[in-house]
Amino acid sequence: MSKYDVIVLGSGPGGYVTAIRASQLGLKTAVVEKESLGGVCLNWGCIPTKALLKSAQVFDYLKHASDYGLTVNEYDKDFTKVVERSRGVAEGMSNGVKFLMKKNKIDVIEGFGKLKAGKKIDVDGKEYSADHIVIATGARSRELPNLPQDGKKVIGYREAMTLKKQPKSMIVVGSGAIGVEFAHFYNAMGTEVTIVEYLPNLVPLEDLDVSKQFERSFKKAGIKVMTNSSVEKVDTSGKTVKATVKTKKGEEIIEADIVLSAVGIVTNIEGIGLEDVGIVTDKGKVMVNDFYQTNIPGYYAIGDITPGPALAHVASAEGITCVEKIAGMNVEAIDYGNIPGCTYATPEIASVGMTEQQAKDAGYDIKVGKFPFSASGKASAAGTKDGFVKVIFDAKYGEWLGCHMIGAGVTDMIAEAVLGRKLETTGHEVLKTIHPHPTMSEAVMEAVADAYDEVIHL
């Protein structure tokens, strides 16, 4: 039996980062993976979807070339090549993880891993043991009973990334990040898209102002938006899919080539031996403490299978925190109130901290500032004037309670707010920090200035 200091079950952005950090700390490490290194995020999520969205952006630029004083007489898309490029990007990144495993002297054990008592893992009949086992098995597309996925007419995110032929029409069920990113991609490619959301607003976890702006932008792009609506059933017996959608006005039937179910995720915790070991779960999540220890000594869990936000960067941070604690370092627990969230549709959305409503509900006396990109010189020059930056501060102490952005490139801007909040920056300190001009990022400073009645360019 092979013996390790740390074995990581799963090699997604939680698992492989955990393994690398463990190796850096001098721990003999192995990672168990049943499919492809990099997990869902790298192979079927974060990375390949961004490649698809980049193709959509370039195609959109070609459509609007005349807006920039350019003449493009002929252009078209090759949907198959767009998909092939996305897969190539994912493959390249997966090969990069293979290189990192080799570089850091991490053993990669291929196969399905099952936990056993006594700090052991069985991988397709062969046993391995470790002083510490970190479970990082991630999640998959959630299926609703009334919306079963057949992989052809009713699909999940995997199939949406690898369709052989572009559909003429598509219904997207759910308007979280996965749903709206695919809705944007297919709409930009020329598919007729309808998005159905059960709650009153698209991207319902975002600040209300952001949700409203996002819906306006989607409608302007030609996407049909149905909020306060739900798909009750689908009929896949004909050439198309007939979806029965329940709205406030009653039921209506919508036809499309394909229905994409984007109603969230479900954790991969079945069949991996949690019950055999006695590890406690609740509502599909593995229960852990601040440093990701389960109730059974020597077993840890990170990422989507734990109660925190199901985000790649959270899984990575949890894995690093977990193994640094194992190695005896003085580790600070993660502040889950300061986790950035990003959505990569057009316009992009990025946010951190409290929404305006959450701040009010928490009893804060607040200052709110907002700066539209329509007043930004850089956004005007780039032709990307949709959106804004919104900031929320505690009026008493100047604490930066929340930051919400919608517009071009905002996913690359949100880190300023995350870092500022981590360092307990006040509104006045942000206001007195010189931002370069012209940039999109100076909209953060302008929004803060608006909160403190000092805005110059609005």
**Active-site annotation holder among 64, 313, 435, 437:** 437
CA angle 59-81-175, nearest 5°? 60
Report whether 193 contacts 224 (CB < 8 A): yes
The Cα–Cα gap between 390 and 263 comes to: 28
Q: What is the DSSP letter of 261?
A: E
Contacts of 439 (CB under 8 A, 6+ apart): 378
ω before 307 within 30° of 0 (cis)?
A: no
Q: At 252, which helix (H) or strand (E)?
A: strand 250-256
For the record, the structure tokens of 451 come out as: 């909160």
* 404 catalytic per annotation: no
Question: Helix, strand or coil for residue 141?
Answer: strand
Is 197 a known ligand-binding residue? yes
**Residue 181, annotated as binding a ligand:** yes
On whether 176 is known to bind a ligand per the annotation, the reply is yes
Question: DSSP string of 128-188?
Answer: EEEEEEEE---EEE--BTTB---SSSEE-HHHHHS-SS--SEEEEE--SHHHHHHHHHHHH
| Chain-centroid distance, C-alpha 93 | 17
Here the tokens at position 429 are 């300190």
Whose CA is closest to 49, among 169, 183, 211? 183
124 is in an annotated binding site: no
In terms of Cα–Cα distance, which of 264, 265, 298, 266 is closest to 279? 298
Distance of CA 371 to the CA centre of its chain: 25
For 191, counting Cβ atoms within 10 Å of its Cβ (0-12 exposed, 13-18 middle, 19+ buried), the class is buried
Tell whether residue 264 is among the known ligand binding residues: yes
Q: Which residues are designated catalytic? A: 437
Q: Residue positions in the annotated binding site for NAD(+)?
A: 174-181, 197, 264
Binding residues: 50, 113, 174-181, 197, 264, 304
Annotated binding site for FAD: 50, 113, 304
